[in-house]
Structure 1
Amino acid sequence: GDAVYGKRSPLLPRHFLHAHRLAFAHPATGEPLEFSSPLPADLEAALEAARRGEQ
């Protein structure tokens, strides 16, 4: 429940926040680093519910 960006939803009781891909240079070596992660199941389910028009 964020007063500015929305109220609590029974479909997703947390912020819809996910970093699909992060890339940066290692601070000591400068080596490029990249990490990726699939969308968590609860966020995927919330997307599907939104596509169906559920709130």
Structure 2
Amino acid sequence: MAVASVFMFTAIFSAAFGKQSRRVEWLGAGIGMLGGLLLNLGGDLPSGCACAEGAACR
């Protein structure tokens, strides 16, 4: 989440110094944060070559 939130901190600090972010930039930041949240849900999705080939992972 630290990497996904970098834009938020950048936008906040730049707004403090008078540079406003555009709406499309905020939209991109929101999509990035949603992606970060999805990655951190902690689902039980296995990975590896054996799983990709359809073999049983457990």
Structures share fold, TM-score greater than 0.5: no
- Which TM class, normalised by the smaller chain length? 0.3 to 0.5
| Higher RCO structure, 1 or 2 (CA under 8 Å, sep 6+) | 2
Largest Rg, 1 or 2 = 2
**What's the TM-score, normalizing by structure 2?**
0.31
State the TM-score, normalized to the length of structure 1.
0.33
Structure with greater helix percent = 2
